[in-house]
Amino acid sequence: MEGPKLVALALACLVSIAGASCGPKKELEQTVSRPAVLSTRTLGISRGWYLRYLVAEELGDVAEAERALEWMVRLDAKSIWPHLALGALLEERGRFEEAIESYYKALNLEPKDGLTNLAMGKLLLLQRQGGAHHWLRLSCRSGEDEACYLLLRDLSEKEELVEAREILSLWQAPDPQWIGDWAVAALRLKEPSLAVDQLLAAPDIQSGEFELLLEAGLGSCRIREVWQFGRRRQPMTDSWDETALRLAGVAKDRVWQGEIIERRYQAGIEPERWWSFLIEEERYGEAIAVLEGFVGNHPDNGRVLFDLGRCYRGLSRFDEAHHYWAKVPSESDWGPAAIEAQTRLLLDQGRVEDALERAERALTERSDQALLLWSVALARQRQGDIDGAEHLLRSSEVLTVEQLCLRLARLRQEHGDMEGALAVLRQGADENHLVCLMEQARLLERRGRVAEALVVWRELVDKDPKNAGAWVEISRLSADANREALRQALGAD
């Protein structure tokens, strides 16, 4: 053995002789890097060989560590720990058959030891050998969270759902660090309500688990409980904020959304999100105050100029709205949106010819922009040329099939042809364009045809089970329908 190793071993022996306060359990916890496999029960182990093993591990001398463990096995026939440690070392070196033999010897000494059963089950699972589930199940019964997780994951992947649910019911009190994995397993087994129960009962959850809670709440129709939970918690990170904003959106809690967005704005994060929220809430004066603070330093910022125009449009100060929209650089990303907004305002003012001229001139400059194409079509429809407007849209190569469907439907709505709009959307839905299906449901509801809208929303979740908005609409419309039925029943009495 090399000089430094001898010195280290000598120091270890001196520590042992002096009786320093670093007993086997403490040393093991400080130096062993496989806590999921190695037990800390070291009673009966030869102290000298144990210290040689620890030093060899610290120095990375695998051969010496293996030799020390082999001697410990010989000297301490009734101790489980050397077998476990030797098995882990052999497994690390790729000598899997020898590792399995070492674990078997440990299990002969203590058949119900949870860590040993876990080590055996993990190795057999890794090697895709039979019997892994047996050992993992025994480890589960000893309360080993990792064994429950591994067994659940494997059973779920193999779609052995009955056994998986049995393990889930057995794993009812996971350690906090395993809460997220427990929830994922419950969601895989289509048990979102159980996931909600476990996550809400956890002493603390992190951002990723909060996102799981939102998914579970949607899947179990318990979004109100999840919303109340989220409302009580202080946002912690960007990812937590994003999930909270999604939850607030699903729950239609605009006050909470505003609180989160404003707090982030005060911290210098996403100012555009704050002024957009103010505009959506029709708080135009506040939005202008925020925007004017930006436009001075960014006079050519298309987004800022466009949103200033929106604010003045909302305040019915039309000349100022036109002024800011005209200043948006035509080549910027916001140029087409500004032209479309100007076109609409001119049409609302009855200036149809001006609107058409403005839109056609912009389309000539940027013929690849779908929004400019729509502006021209809208102006032609207002002229009474609905056929020409539809032909313009249908003959374009700019629009996707889905975009064409939505634009044609909107054009017919503008023309007052609601049945024609529904027919176009139905055609898009039949071609599996889910956005068309969503728009069809919304249009039916606006027309007061709630029962038909409910049928369409249910068709949507059949095709897209994770569509949170659709589930919320189904819940809302179902509740409204039930209240209406009750009201009519009471009225009939």
DSSP for 380-403, please give it: HHHTT-HHHHHHHHHT-SSS-HHH
pLDDT of 210 reads 78
- Is residue 346 over pLDDT 90? yes
Enter the DSSP assignment of 43: T
Tokens 């004066």 belong to 285
Determine the average pLDDT of the residues in 219-234.
Answer: 75
pLDDT of 34 reads 38
The Cα 89–Cα 183 span in angstroms is 33
Question: What confidence tier does 43 reach under pLDDT thresholds 50, 70, 90?
Answer: very low
Question: What confidence tier does 484 reach under pLDDT thresholds 50, 70, 90?
Answer: low
Question: What confidence tier does 347 reach under pLDDT thresholds 50, 70, 90?
Answer: very high
pLDDT of 23 reads 37
Residues 6+ apart with CB under 8 A from 264: 241, 270, 273, 274
pLDDT of 74 reads 78
Residue 264 · residue 241 · CB < 8 Å: yes
**Domains of the chain with CATH codes:** 174-269 (1.25.40), 402-493 (1.25.40.10)
DSSP state letters, 307-318? HHHHHHHHTT-H
Could you tell me what percent of the chain has a pLDDT over 90? 29
257 compared with 91, residue with greater pLDDT: 257
- Is residue 472 over pLDDT 80? no
Listed ranges 87-96, 156-165, 178-187, 265-274; the one with the highest mean pLDDT: 265-274
pLDDT of 234 reads 62
- Is residue 468 over pLDDT 80? no
- Mean pLDDT score across all residues of the chain: 80
- Is residue 305 over pLDDT 90? yes
Q: Counting Cβ atoms within 10 Å, is residue 206 exposed (0-12), middle (13-18) or buried (19+)?
A: middle
The Cα 440–Cα 310 span in angstroms is 28
Instruction: Show the tokens assigned to 102.
Output: 């070492």
| Nearest CA-CA partner of 361 in 395, 386, 336 | 336
pLDDT digits (tens, 9 = 90+) for 203-224: 777 777 777 777 777 777 777 7
pLDDT digits (tens, 9 = 90+) for 386-403: 999 999 999 888 888 888
18 compared with 345, residue with greater pLDDT: 345
User: Is residue 80 helix, strand or coil?
Assistant: coil
- Is residue 315 over pLDDT 50? yes
The Cα 307–Cα 316 span in angstroms is 14
9 compared with 330, residue with greater pLDDT: 330
Taking residue 286's Cβ as centre, other Cβ atoms within 10 Å add up to 15
Instruction: Show the tokens assigned to 257.
Output: 């959304």
Residue 448 · residue 412 · CB < 8 Å: no
DSSP state letters, 231-271? HHSPP-SHHHHHHHHHHHHHHT-HHHHHHHHHHHHHTTS-H
Determine the average pLDDT of the residues in 118-136.
Answer: 81
Determine the average pLDDT of the residues in 383-387.
Answer: 90
CA 211 vs CA 183, 187, 244: distances in Å: 11, 12, 9
Which residues of 149-193 form beta strands (DSSP E)? none
Taking residue 273's Cβ as centre, other Cβ atoms within 10 Å add up to 16
The Cα 333–Cα 314 span in angstroms is 22
Determine the average pLDDT of the residues in 6-10.
Answer: 46
Residues 280/282/286/289 CA torsion (nearest 10 deg): 80
pLDDT of 165 reads 79
Question: What confidence tier does 290 reach under pLDDT thresholds 50, 70, 90?
Answer: very high
- Is residue 17 over pLDDT 70? no
pLDDT of 132 reads 81
